[in-house]
C-alpha cells in the first residue's frame, strides 16, 4: 500500500499532474528608467501573489501590495479561454496615496467589440470600442499561454496583446535556456513590434513540466516592474 502511494507521488512529480489551482508568491520592486520619479506616483516595492484557477475558463490574478503603504497596490486580472487561447475579460488597477485607477475590459469577439469601464479620481465611464482581433491577449494571458506552449515554441510567434482596449502587435520570442539562482529556466520575451520597448514583458519559466514563472519583468512608461519568485 505504502509503495503504491509512493509510486503515485513520484509519478505526479515526473509527469506533472494538471493544476487546478495555484498560488505563487513574489517579491517585487520598480527598477531602471526614472524610478526616482515613478516612486512619487506609484508604490515602489513589496510582496505579490500570482493566483491561477483552471476550473472552466481560466482565472489569473497578479496582486502586488506596496511595502510602505499597505493600502497601495498594483493589480492585473484576466479571465481567459483554456490554454490561454484568448482573453475574455481583463482588469488593471492601482492605488497609491490619494490616487487610484481601475479599468475593466470585456472582449466580445462575436460582436467584434470591447466594453471598457474605467474609474479613477476624475472619471467613471463606460465605452464601447471596436475589436479587430479574434484572439486578444493581455499580459497574464500571454504568460499563461507561454507556460502551456513553452515546449513547442522554438521560433518567434506573432500575437496581439492588449493594454486596456488598445491592441499592439508583439512577438513571443524564445531565448536560450540558462540558469537563475541555480534553477534551470527557459526565458521568453514578449516584444512589441516596431522597436518601442515600452510594454515589453520578459518571463523566465522553470525548465520543467510546470514552467513556473521564476522571474517576471514588465516594462512601463517610467520604470520596470520586476518580480522574483519566493515560493
Does residue 10 form part of some domain? no
**What does each C-alpha distance from 127 to 87, 118, 160 come to in angstroms?**
18, 9, 21
Does residue 4 form part of some domain? no
Does residue 3 form part of some domain? no
DSSP line for 2-42: HHHHHHHHHHHHHHTPPPSEEEEEEEEEEESTTHHHHHHHS
Q: What is the pLDDT of residue 20?
A: 73
- Phi then psi for residue 158, to 5 deg, are -80, 145
Q: What is the pLDDT of residue 132?
A: 86
DSSP line for 64-119: EEESS-TT-EEEEEEEE-GGG--EEEEEEEEEETTEEEEEEEEEETTTTEEEEEEE
Does residue 14 form part of some domain? no
Does residue 30 form part of some domain? yes
Does residue 5 form part of some domain? no
Q: In total, how many domains does the chain have?
A: 1
Q: Whole-angstrom Cα distance, residue 152 to residue 29?
A: 31
Of the CA atoms within 13 Å of residue 146, those in its CB half-sphere come to: 34
Q: What is the pLDDT of residue 164?
A: 84
Q: What averages of pLDDT result for each successive group of 10 residues across the chain (231 residues)?
A: 34 43 95 73 88 94 89 94 94 91 96 96 95 93 96 94 89 95 94 79 96 94 91 82
Element (H, E) at 171: strand 166-174
Does residue 24 form part of some domain? yes
Does residue 76 form part of some domain? yes
Of the CA atoms within 13 Å of residue 162, those in its CB half-sphere come to: 30
Enclosing domain of residue 28: 19-229
Q: What is the pLDDT of residue 192?
A: 92
pTM: 0.86
Of the candidates 170, 174, 214, the one whose C-alpha atom is nearest the C-alpha of residue 196 is 170
Question: Which three cell numbers mark 16?
Answer: 506533472
Q: What is the pLDDT of residue 228?
A: 97
Q: Whole-angstrom Cα distance, residue 123 to residue 115?
A: 16
Amino acid at each position: 500500500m505504502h509503495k503504491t502511494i509512493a509510486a503515485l507521488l513520484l509519478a505526479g512529480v515526473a509527469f506533472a499532474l494538471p493544476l487546478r489551482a495555484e498560488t505563487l508568491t513574489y517579491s517585487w520592486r520598480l527598477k531602471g528608467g526614472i524610478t526616482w520619479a515613478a516612486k512619487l506616483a506609484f508604490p515602489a516595492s513589496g510582496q505579490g501573489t500570482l493566483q491561477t484557477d483552471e476550473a472552466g475558463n481560466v482565472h489569473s490574478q497578479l496582486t502586488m501590495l506596496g511595502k510602505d503603504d499597505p493600502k497601495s497596490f498594483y493589480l492585473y486580472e484576466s479571465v481567459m479561454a483554456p490554454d490561454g487561447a484568448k482573453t475574455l475579460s481583463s482588469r488593471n488597477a492601482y492605488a497609491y496615496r490619494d490616487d487610484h485607477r481601475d479599468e475593466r475590459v470585456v472582449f466580445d469577439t462575436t460582436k467584434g467589440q470591447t466594453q471598457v469601464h474605467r474609474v479613477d479620481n476624475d472619471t467613471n465611464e463606460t465605452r464601447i470600442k471596436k475589436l479587430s482581433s479574434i484572439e486578444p491577449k493581455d499580459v497574464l494571458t500571454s504568460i499563461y499561454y507561454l507556460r502551456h506552449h513553452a515546449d513547442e515554441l522554438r521560433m518567434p510567434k506573432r500575437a496581439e496583446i492588449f493594454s486596456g482596449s488598445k491592441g499592439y502587435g508583439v512577438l513571443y520570442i524564445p531565448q536560450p535556456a540558462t540558469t537563475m539562482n541555480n534553477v534551470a529556466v527557459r526565458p521568453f520575451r514578449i516584444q512589441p513590434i516596431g522597436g518601442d520597448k515600452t510594454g515589453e514583458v520578459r518571463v523566465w519559466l522553470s525548465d520543467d513540466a510546470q514552467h513556473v514563472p521564476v522571474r517576471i519583468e514588465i516594462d512601463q512608461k517610467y520604470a520596470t516592474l520586476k518580480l522574483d519568485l519566493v515560493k
